[in-house]
Structure 1
Amino acid sequence: MATPTSLSSATMLARLPRLNFLLLSRSYRFFSPNQLLQYTPGFLFTAPAALTLDIPAILSDIWDSVLRAVPKKKTSHMKKRHRQMAGKALKDHLDLNRCSSCGEPKRAHLLCPTCVAAHPVEIFSLAVTPSQVISCSGASSLKVHSTTPTPTGTGTETDFPIAQSIEAAHKIGCHHLATSADGTRFASVGFGGEVKLWSFVDGMWVEEGGLKESKKVSEIWAVALSAHGEYLAGTTLDGRIKVWHIQKDDVELICDLETKGSFGMCIALSADGCLTASGHANGNVYIFLNETGRMIHSLSGLVSSVRAVSFSPGGKLLAAAGDSRVIQLYETSSGEQVAALMGHTSWITSLDWSHTGEFLLSSALDGKVKVWSAERRACVATLSESDVAIWSAKWLLKVGTTEKFVTASAKGSITFYREATGV
């Protein structure tokens, strides 16, 4: 078989496409195959050789050419200076300083973790004395914050320092607190069913005992204390109202009141100790006369669970609210509904009257806190800094002309507010 190199010129020419004519200077001239052969380059009849290409090197050269073709972005001196100044400012903000509230070190650009996270889990209840705020949560400890400024030793004063931490108060957490108006005693109810009493002795809270299991207190949910702490009232899971007389050596059950059997979610005692009010899961609100143990009013108007009830300082009005998102005001003498305060868009979790009775404070599950005017029967302030549930809100003792209150959130933080500035 003939190889490509052994083919004759005539054979190679025969295999080329036939050219019938060539265009030369606007005239056509025909050539025979032998005549055309002398004008054909010789390389057309040579055998093709193998090609060797360095592909990576070629691609590298192409990429280098592309990079050289694209101009580099230059950063101006001003931009570099701005970046340097921003870095310096950030470094300054990261320097440690001391929290003006608790005196503990914190980052300058962050909220104080000690103050914000008063508890590791959500706080369920607050109780206020003339000089302290007591808080409880799903954790086992109780926290006590002082509302009296205390020197820190650095030339500044902390507004609300931690005065005491009561460790292992309730093994699986606490859900309700109640204090006496004189600040000498408070009661706490744990998720384990235990009810404990605490006394203020030599500037510290000490446990004085509790209601024994023999008295069937494991079913107690909400509690309230009288002004001087000698009487304790509590609601039960089956809707009963129980009242104990607290003495130094004994706690005696003196009253056991029956209702319609619905879960008692909240309870309140009037300032003079004459009346007891309870709110229930079926929407009912009852007022009892403590002297006789008789139910004097069964109040209507709330169709959903009642989570909070509160007597005005003079005992003339009772506020009740809950899942219906409406605050109902009743006259305690007649049981008549005198006002319906609307504005909350979520379940209302707590109610508290100011010490003068001028304002009513309410908190809700959506993080809103509202201040209502008792005279105008309207909302005069709304605070919405929190995006989680506010389980409790309480007024602090008024000093001078400025009102203050405190809130507890599901984030485990305690926030203090004062009138005018709102922070």
Structure 2
Amino acid sequence: MSTVVPPRPKRQRLTAPSVAAAAVAAQGPVQTIICQFRNAQDGTLLGPSVSLLADTTREGLELLANNLKGTAEDPVPFSFHLQLPSTAAPPAEDGKPTAPEEGLRLPIARSIHADLLSHPKHANKLSTEDVFVIDCEPEAVFRVREISRCSSSLDGHASPILCASFSPTGRFLATGSGDNTCRLWNLDSETPAATLAGHTGWLLCVEWDGLERQVATGSMDNSVRLWDPKTGKQVGEPMRGHSKWITSLAWEPIHVCLSAAHSNASQPRLASSSKDGTVRVWNAMHRKMDFALGGHTASVNVVRWGGEGVIYTASSDRTVKLWDGKAGKLIRTLSEHAHWVNTMALNTDFILRTGPFDHLAKAPKTDDEAKELALKRYTAFTSRTPEQLITGSDDHTLFLWPPVNSSGDAAVANPKKPVARLTGHQKQVNHVAFSPDGKYIASAGFDNAVKLWDGRTGKFIASLRGHVAAVYRISWSADSRMLVSASKDSTLKLWDLKTFKIRVDLPGHSDEVYCVDFVADKIASGGRDKKVKMCVGLGSLSLSSRTYRRRARERQMRHPRRARTDTVDGRAAGGTR
């Protein structure tokens, strides 16, 4: 009798879940760890320590945190960070200060095991016998829809677009160009609402006031002009005095006007910086100069007006100066940078820019109500974290500075020394911006990279790589969950802050992208190709499509039979032009 050879076993195709299960089995039993949840805002503990599986996901941590806080019925989204054990921070080679190792907080994006215990750099600092202190911090109570596509292209400018800015409510967009004009765009129809003509040089900056009643423009003709966005007409005469072109503009915050005897909310003052090395503060009502700040010895590249009434100026003379916004007196000079200071940002920029307008879209009825709402929003933000400054330079570094108020008082013993020196960029830093919630700092540079840092300590978090040329500008979504970057490589890239990877690649421009702004679920960008590109959120209609639908309904009412085939279905008709 011959021996029967058994058939070879069939190969089984491993699906993703089975592969993951095999990997877990190879690792052995899942570890159990002890966690202590802590409120990141005030440091209070949320109940007793609990024992968790190390592979508990971020969603599971969020569910547990809501139960501990008693908000399970109406859950709040949280972000989680693990506080590493304290270790002595080694001194920097050049003697510059570094962020203390004690303040290192690592974000938990997936699970404790995936993000921390398996991390090659930090795993040796952790032990499953330790009590893991997890900081919980509420995120925005609203969520911005994911941007999915460029919906339209707005033509009209005859030269490259150099600056773009949404109004505080997001109803209007202002763009400045090398054709010497500023265009206001109606986002309901995606058509020009007005063309602001009058400058005789390139428009380098455009800025809305906090109540959306005026828009200011600065030009290479050395003048600043104010415009009424409703009529498109210039308000009064140009404000002249600078001997070289305007580099930046900043409006006085609405809530600062509340305590200013010389001003009111409807007419905040305006600060302009110039290549001539000065900053001028203008009375917007009379269009006259209140005073000039003349301490810099080279071009002033950026000006910011803080919520404490402090005016911040950054210059090519390698210094940053702080001024009293009421009297124009110098408070402090910060001189740690070794090259031109190109950019700076405050962690309160988003709050100051939107003033009394929050995500509920309730417009104030009076100026007094507007001032109260703006002050309430600012106070609520600074009760969690004080106003802080970040600066970026051609020396490839950034500095995070301690908070200060208008009287010059600081929260640290040596206010002229930075909280942290942020190193990592290989070339000049172009732009820096705090996330709206102040938790993160994003910086962009000529090294083709966007880098993320901790907004409180300045500790490095991640490098966002994907661009193949210099990154010019960055902008955050209002919920601090997404970041968009504009580059010389002609693309926009939308980044996911959970995975630190590209969420959506947004091509559309045919040349360098010089400016970008993010509001609600809309992104506007402009560049060398002279076009304004509008990108919209997932599942949302482009605004031009809404107009198309309205007109289709009107046609159907007038001609029911003929218009029946013209109506559109649930998709966004005309979404791409």
The bucket for the TM-score relative to the shorter chain is: 0.5 to 0.7
Q: Secondary structure at the match of 1:271?
A: helix
Taking the aligned partners of 2:534 and 2:438, their CA distance within structure 1 comes to 27
Aligned residues with identical type, % of pairs: 15
CA contact (8 A) 2:162 2:204 kept: yes
The equivalent position to 1:135 in structure 2, one of 169, 175, 189, is 175
Q: Aligned in 2, Cα 1:164/1:219: closer, same or farther, shift over 3 Å? A: closer
The equivalent position to 2:213 in structure 1, one of 173, 177, 184, is 184
The equivalent position to 1:198 in structure 2, one of 226, 241, 245, is 226
**Letter of the structure 2 residue corresponding to residue 163 of structure 1:** A
**Letter of the structure 1 residue corresponding to residue 190 of structure 2:** F
Taking the aligned partners of 1:246 and 1:377, their CA distance within structure 2 comes to 44
Q: Does 2:285 match 1:248?
A: yes
Residue 371 of structure 1: how far off its partner (Å): 0.6
Partner of 1:105: none
CA contact (8 A) 1:227 1:271 kept: no
Count of residue pairs the alignment pairs up: 291
Q: Does 2:345 match 1:268?
A: yes
**Letter of the structure 1 residue corresponding to residue 234 of structure 2:** V
Q: Select between 281-290 and 115-124 the one with higher mean Cα deviation.
A: 281-290
Taking the aligned partners of 2:239 and 2:447, their CA distance within structure 1 comes to 34
Residue 231 of structure 1: how far off its partner (Å): 6.4
Q: Does 2:537 match 1:419?
A: yes
Partner of 1:161: 191
Q: Aligned in 2, Cα 1:360/1:383: closer, same or farther, shift over 3 Å? A: same
Q: Aligned in 2, Cα 1:287/1:378: closer, same or farther, shift over 3 Å? A: same
Q: Does 2:405 match 1:291?
A: yes
Taking the aligned partners of 1:348 and 1:246, their CA distance within structure 2 comes to 36
Taking the aligned partners of 1:211 and 1:182, their CA distance within structure 2 comes to 21
**Letter of the structure 2 residue corresponding to residue 416 of structure 1:** M
Residue 285 of structure 1: how far off its partner (Å): 2.7
Q: Aligned in 2, Cα 1:225/1:300: closer, same or farther, shift over 3 Å? A: farther
The equivalent position to 1:218 in structure 2, one of 224, 237, 244, is 244
Q: Secondary structure at the match of 2:201?
A: coil
Q: Secondary structure at the match of 2:533?
A: strand
Where structure 1 has 5 or more consecutive residues not aligned to the other structure, the ranges are: 1-111, 150-158
Residue 321 of structure 1: how far off its partner (Å): 0.5
Partner of 2:506: 383
Residue 164 of structure 1: how far off its partner (Å): 0.8
CA contact (8 A) 1:235 1:264 kept: no
1:315-326 matches, cutoff 5 A: 315-326=438-449
1:252-401 matches, cutoff 5 A: 252-253=291-292, 255=311, 257=321, 258=333, 259=335, 260=337, 262-269=339-346, 270-272=349-351, 274-288=387-401, 289=403, 291=405, 296-297=418-419, 298-396=421-519, 398=520
Q: Select between 267-276 and 138-147 the one with higher mean Cα deviation.
A: 267-276
Q: Secondary structure at the match of 2:350?
A: coil
CA contact (8 A) 2:221 2:245 kept: no
Taking the aligned partners of 2:524 and 2:280, their CA distance within structure 1 comes to 28
- Give the TM-score taking structure 2 as reference length: 0.45
The equivalent position to 1:404 in structure 2, one of 522, 532, 555, is 522
Q: Does 2:157 match 1:125?
A: no
Q: Secondary structure at the match of 2:234?
A: strand
Q: Does 2:200 match 1:175?
A: no
CA contact (8 A) 1:279 1:285 kept: yes
Residue 251 of structure 1: how far off its partner (Å): 4.0
Taking the aligned partners of 2:493 and 2:522, their CA distance within structure 1 comes to 13
Residue 163 of structure 1: how far off its partner (Å): 0.7
Partner of 1:5: none
Taking the aligned partners of 1:330 and 1:390, their CA distance within structure 2 comes to 24
Deviations 1:217-262 (A, max 9, x none): 7365234446549465666659x89684756345445745044473
Q: Which has the higher strand share?
A: 1
Taking the aligned partners of 1:128 and 1:409, their CA distance within structure 2 comes to 16
Taking the aligned partners of 1:299 and 1:208, their CA distance within structure 2 comes to 44
Taking the aligned partners of 1:360 and 1:231, their CA distance within structure 2 comes to 31
Residue 390 of structure 1: how far off its partner (Å): 0.9
Structure number with bigger Rg? 1
Higher relative contact order (CA 8 A, sep 6+): 2
Residue 360 of structure 1: how far off its partner (Å): 0.7
Where structure 2 has 5 or more consecutive residues not aligned to the other structure, the ranges are: 1-151, 255-266, 294-310, 314-320, 322-332, 353-386, 409-414, 540-574
Taking the aligned partners of 2:396 and 2:159, their CA distance within structure 1 comes to 29
Q: Secondary structure at the match of 2:510?
A: coil
Q: Aligned in 2, Cα 1:390/1:132: closer, same or farther, shift over 3 Å? A: same
**Letter of the structure 2 residue corresponding to residue 136 of structure 1:** G
What is the alpha-carbon root mean square deviation over aligned residues? 3.4
